[in-house]
Structure formats: C-alpha cells, structure tokens
Amino acid sequence: MLQGFLDFISDSANWSGAEGIGNRILQHLAYTFLSLGIATVIALPVGLLIGHTRRGAFLAINTANAARALPTLGLLTLIVLLIGIGRLPVIIALVVLGIPPILASTYAGVSGVDRPTIDAARGMGMTEGEILTKVEIPIALPLIISGLRSATLQIVSTATVAAYVALGGLGRYVIDGLSLRDFPQMLTGAVLVAVLAILLDLAFAGIGRYAVSAGLTGRLRRGTDTKTTTAPATAEASL
C-alpha cells in the first residue's frame, strides 16, 4: 500500500500535464487564494467597522459560531444543486466558509484594544480613521492574521472536499482514486493536501511573527512595563 503510494508519487509521468501533480497543486493554491482574497475583501472591512464602533458584536460572534456548525459537504452540495456544476458555485461556498473566521477575529482584535489606549490617541487629536489605521489595526494584527490563517485552512480543506462536486485541485486524486479503488492515488492526494496545509500554516505563523509591531512583542521594550496586548501576539506565535 505504502509502496504503491511511493511508486505513484515518484513516477514523473504523474507530475506533468494538466492532470499532473504540479498542476493540481497550482489549481489548489489558485482556488484557495482566490476564495481567501474575496472573503477578506468582504469580511475585513466589516470586522474593522464592527470592532471600531463596537456595534453589531452579536453578528460577528454568531456568524463564526454558526459557521463552525455548518457541514461543509452539505453547503457544497446545496450550492451546486442550486446554481449548477462549475467553478463559481464552489468558489462561493469557499468564500462563505472563509468569511466567518476573518470577521470574528478582526472584530475580536479591534474591539479588544484597551479603551485608555484609544482615548489617548483621540486625546492626541487623531481622527477616527487614524485611530483605526495607526492604533487599532496594528494592535489587532496578530488576531487578524490568525483569522486569515483559520480561513485559509478551512478553505484548503474544503477545496479538497469540493473535488466531490467536480472541482479540480488535489482533491481530484482522492475522489478519482476512490472511484477507481486506487488507494495509492488517494493517499497521494491526502498527503499532498496535508503537506500544503501545514506549509500554509507555517507561512502564516511566519507572517504573524514579522507583521506584528515591534512595540507589541516587546522586542523593543525599554524599561517601563507596557501592559498592552502582548498576550495575543505571543499566544498566536506559539501555535
């Protein structure tokens, strides 16, 4: 069984062409980043707005909880039956699943900024826009990035399942292998998608480390104790 997998993955014929491993990986990444991009464009501004105004928290928290309970395969099959087979319905499903984690953690990050910090910024004469971009977003960044990370993993995983409703990408090996009772092929798809998920997870962990303002991680701390939101930054970095 394992031998079959090694044969499959080491056979160069399986790596080239439209149905080759290289192309399947690129497809998977393309679906993932397209859906992630659309989900971010929708969820990030809404999360920032809710977090900044602290109105509509109910919406932000509950969409995330409800989305966790939503069976992905059910959503995929439902949307495909309603709209039809093709790439668009699947991308819609992936976007729907990507929105809640981004929305919830953006909201949590921005609304978690200490009140006195914001008051100080306002007292210095910052406009609301400046408070958002110069104070709230930098402080919330660790949580925003962790939201993007959860969304990415959710999308990578669901894009694999979406091969069942005729999407390309690495899930094809799983679904095609299953219908042919070709276990090595299934295993190839499963291992590749697992590796892809881990690599993307590590990439986000790396981004999280570098994107966080040095004033928050304590890298530049001088003497005085700043009791700001160091906790989320370190908590995310340790994952």
Partner 1 sequence: MTWVGDNSAMIWDQLREHLYLALVPMVLGLLISIPLGYVATRYSWLANPLVALGGVLYSLPSIALFIVLPAIIGTQVLSSANIIIALTIYAVSLLIRNVIDGLRSVPEDVLQAAVSVGYGTLRRVVTIDLPIAVPVIFAGLRVVTVANISMVSVGAIIGIGGLGELFTLGFQQDFLTPIVVGVVLSLALALLADVLLVGLQRLLTPWARVNSPVKAA
Among 29, 57, 178, 207, binds partner 1 (CB under 8 A): 178
Q: Which of residues 91-150 bind partner 1 (CB under 8 A)?
A: none
Q: Cβ 203 to partner 1, closest distance in Å?
A: 11
Evaluate whether 102 touches 47 at the Cβ level (below 8 Å).
Answer: yes
Q: Smaller CB distance to partner 1: residue 130 or 182? A: 182
| Among residues 9, 38, 57, 77, the one that binds partner 1 under rule CB under 8 A | 77
Longest dimension (CA), the chain: 68
Task: For residue 80, count other CB atoms closer than 10 A to its CB.
Answer: 21
C-alpha span between 226 and 216 (Å, rounded): 9
Give the binding range for partner 1 (CB under 8 A) out of 45-53, 77-85, 119-127, 223-231. Answer: 77-85
Q: Could you say whether residue 156 binds partner 1 (CB under 8 A)?
A: yes
The site string for partner 1 over 26-65 (x = CB under 8 A, - otherwise) reads ---------------------------------------x
- The DSSP code sequence of 165-232 is GT--STHHHHHHHHHTT-HHHHHHHHHHHHHHHHHHHHHHHHHHHHHS-HHHHTTT--SS---SSHHH
Distance in angstroms (rounded) separating the CA atoms of residues 71 and 65? 12
The token duo for 239 is 């994952």
Range in contact with partner 1 (rule: CB under 8 A) among 45-53, 185-193, 211-219, 225-233: 185-193
Q: How many residues bind partner 1 (CB under 8 A)?
A: 43
The reply to whether 72 sits near partner 1 by the rule CB under 8 A is yes
Helix, strand, coil: what percent of the chain each, to 5? Answer: 80, 0, 20
Report the interface residues with partner 1, using CB under 8 A. Answer: 1-2, 5, 65-66, 68-78, 80-82, 153, 156-157, 160-161, 164-165, 171, 174-175, 178, 183, 186-187, 189-191, 193-194, 197-198, 201, 238-239
